[in-house]
């Protein structure tokens, strides 16, 4: 399965997106998910933490799962083990998200295929912060 998207498609996705739910967002500043979330907030995105063990992260209400989020989500950014990605993809489909983004080191071909076959943009094994910085920051 080839999920190599062009830089232009990724740039368009990032420009058209406003709300990014981060599944597995850690409250610890030293964790990559926290650094990515802080970066995205600094760049104007509405970041929604998804972590059932937390009530608030980075001053934002944290939700136990994607289906609990009361607003539309454009991108679901996943910081979970590859084996734990499928439930997030199923929830992303249920809430009508436009894209699934699996962070660096996260590869789940079956979940990616399900999302792609359902019409979602799928980005896998890439860092949203790195791509945003490379493509959109000046």
Looking up residue 47, the CATH number of its domain turns out to be: 3.40.50.720
Please indicate, yes or no, if residue 29 is contained in any of the structural domains.
yes
Distances (CA, A) of 5 to 100, 116, 123: 13, 12, 7
> How many independent structural domains does the chain possess?
1
Domain span at 11: 7-135
Residue 1 in domain: no
Output the pLDDT for position 1.
42
* Residue 70: how many other CB atoms lie within 10 Å: 7
In a domain? residue 2: no
Give the model's pLDDT for residue 2.
Answer: 43
Q: Decide if 72 is inside a domain.
A: yes
Whether 14 maps to a domain, the answer reads yes
> What's the CA gap between 130 and 4, in Å, rounded?
16
Q: Tens digits of per-residue pLDDT, 48-71?
A: 999 999 999 999 999 999 999 999
Q: Which residue ranges of the chain lie beneath pLDDT 50?
A: 1-2
* Per-residue confidence (pLDDT) for residue 25, from 0 to 100: 98
Query: What is the Cα–Cα distance from 66 to 48, expressed in whole angstroms?
Result: 9
Global confidence as pTM: 0.95
CA distance 80 to 6: 24
Backbone phi, psi, residue 22, to 5°: -110, 110
């Amino acid at each position: 399965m080839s999920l190599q998207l062009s830089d232009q498609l990724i740039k368009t996705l990032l420009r058209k997106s406003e709300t990014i739910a981060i599944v597995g967002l850690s409250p610890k500043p030293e964790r990559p998910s926290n650094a990515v979330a802080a970066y995205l907030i600094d760049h104007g995105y509405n970041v929604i933490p998804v972590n059932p063990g937390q009530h608030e992260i980075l001053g934002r209400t944290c939700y136990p799962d994607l289906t609990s989020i009361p607003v539309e989500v454009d991108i679901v950014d996943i910081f979970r083990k590859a084996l734990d990605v499928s439930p997030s993809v199923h929830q992303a489909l249920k809430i009508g998200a436009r894209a699934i983004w699996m962070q660096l080191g996260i590869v789940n071909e079956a979940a990616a295929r399900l999302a792609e076959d359902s019409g979602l943009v799928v980005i896998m094994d890439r860092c949203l912060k790195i791509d945003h910085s490379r493509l959109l920051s000046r």
